[in-house]
Amino acid sequence: MKASTLIRRGAAQPCRPVPRHLLAPADFARLPAGLVEEPSLALLSLWAEPAMVHAAFLEEESGALLLASTPAEAGHYPALSPARPGAVRFERMIHDLWGLAAEGGLDPRPWLDHGRWPLTAPLSARPARHGAPPEQPSFLPIEGEGWHQIPVGPVHAGIIEPGHFRFTVQGEMVVRLEQRLGYTHKGTLGLMLGKSPRTAARFAARLSGDSTVAHSLAFAEAAEAACETTAPPRAAWLRAVMLESERVANHLGDWGFLCNDAAFAFPHARCGMLREAMLRAQLAAFGHRLMMDRVIPGGVAVDLAPEGADALLAALALVEAEVPVLDAIHEDHASLQDRLVGTGVLAPELARAFAAGGVIGRASGRAFDARLAFPSAPYAGAPPEAVLRQEGDVAARMRVRIAELTDSIRLIRRLLAGLPAGEIHAPLPQRGGEGLALVESFRGEIATWMALDDGGLIRAVFPRDPSWLQWPLLEAVVEDNIIADFPLCNKSFNCSYSGVDL
Q: Residue 112's pLDDT band (boundaries 50, 70, 90)?
A: very high
Pairing, β 20-22 against β 433-440: unpaired
pLDDT of residue 138: 81
Distance CA 477, CA 346 (A): 6
Averaged pLDDT for residues 353-374 = 96
CATH architecture of 189-474: Orthogonal Bundle (1.10)
pLDDT of residue 144: 75
**Res 342 pLDDT > 90:** yes
pLDDT, tens digit (0-9, with 9 covering 90-100), for 203-231: 999 999 999 999 999 999 999 999 999 99
Averaged pLDDT for residues 246-250 = 98
**Res 80 pLDDT > 90:** yes
Give ∠ CA 386-86-49 in degrees, rounded to 5. Answer: 110
Kindly report the CATH number that applies to the domain delimited by 3-129: 3.30.460.80
Question: 365 φ, ψ to 5°?
Answer: 85, 0
Distance CA 273, CA 447 (A): 32
pLDDT of residue 449: 98
Using a 10 angstrom Cβ sphere, with 0-12 exposed, 13-18 middle and 19 or more buried, the burial of residue 82 is: middle
Range of lowest pLDDT (139-143, 356-360, 387-391, 409-413)? 139-143
Q: Residue 135's pLDDT band (boundaries 50, 70, 90)?
A: confident
pLDDT, tens digit (0-9, with 9 covering 90-100), for 441-470: 999 999 999 999 999 999 999 999 999 999
pLDDT, tens digit (0-9, with 9 covering 90-100), for 466-489: 999 999 999 999 999 999 999 999
Q: What is the mean pLDDT of the chain?
A: 95
pLDDT, tens digit (0-9, with 9 covering 90-100), for 17-41: 999 999 999 999 999 999 999 999 9
**Res 157 pLDDT > 80:** no
Q: Residue 148's pLDDT band (boundaries 50, 70, 90)?
A: confident
Q: How is 223-243 classified by DSSP, letter by letter? A: HHHHHT----HHHHHHHHHHH
SS3 11: strand
Distance CA 409, CA 417 (A): 12
- End-to-end CA distance of the chain, in Å? 35
Instruction: Give the number of residues written for the chain.
Output: 502
pLDDT of residue 145: 78
Distance CA 416, CA 301 (A): 18
The residue ranges of every structural domain in the chain are 3-129, 189-474
